[in-house]
Amino acid sequence: MGVDKLKLAVLISGRGSNLQALIDACKDPLFPAEIVLVLSNRPQAQGLDYARAAGLPVLTVDHKNYPDRESFDDAVHDEIVKNGADLVALAGFMRILTPGFVNKWPRRMINIHPSLLPDYKGLDTHSRALADGKKEAGCTVHYVVPEMDSGPIIVQKRVPILEGDTPEILAERVLEQEHIAYPEAVRIVTDELSG
């Protein structure tokens, strides 16, 4: 019998490459977490296929079926609780969450963002970094607080910005680091929660 693992709910909206990185990390018997739910707000999210292929419980809570943000967030919260998750990992989840929801998961909800926060909160991070002539870009995993992209930082990874970079090329270089950063952050949070 192994030691109890931290139970992770992963929330996605699309491609799901960070979800796949977490799925791969969980294959290591020594990884301290396991995925108990993959939830998407979009029925067509490609990441749902990765989750199904890994035999994980998947669920769509389509935001279009809810009259407002509060009722959508309540439904998501109920599903996370029902599946027994200890930690919520936002992995390309592109919905703004209400403070009421966020405050139910203090230091128990984390997010990955494709910039070196506090620089470039929000969208189009890579094109903004290029337009500003930055020499470095990267990604951040942070705790989620009600203010968007603003919670305490858990892990950051840096990459150089190179001559001739386009937003797409830079995004690819950063994404490679995201896939390393997210499992690393889950290990750190697990240590913190168990310590």
Which residues are the active-site residues?
113
By CB under 6 A, is residue 15 in contact with ligand GAR? Answer: yes
Residues 6+ apart with CB under 8 A from 50: 16, 19, 20, 23
**By CB under 6 A, what part of segment 59-88 binds ligand GAR?**
none
Give the DSSP letter of residue 64. Answer: G
* Class of residue 55 by CB neighbours under 10 A (exposed 0-12, middle 13-18, buried 19+): exposed
- Options 6, 8, 10, 16; binder of ligand GAR; rule CB under 6 A: 16
State which residue, 45 or 80, has the beta carbon closest to ligand GAR.
45
Rounded Cα distance between 100 and 87, Å, is 17
- Options 59, 145, 175, 180; binder of ligand GAR; rule CB under 6 A: 175
By CB under 6 A, is residue 181 in contact with ligand GAR? Answer: no
By CB under 6 A, is residue 40 in contact with ligand GAR? Answer: no
Q: Where do we find the tokens 């993959």?
A: 38
Which parts of this chain interact with ligand GAR (CB under 6 A)?
12, 14-18, 47, 91-92, 112-114, 175, 178
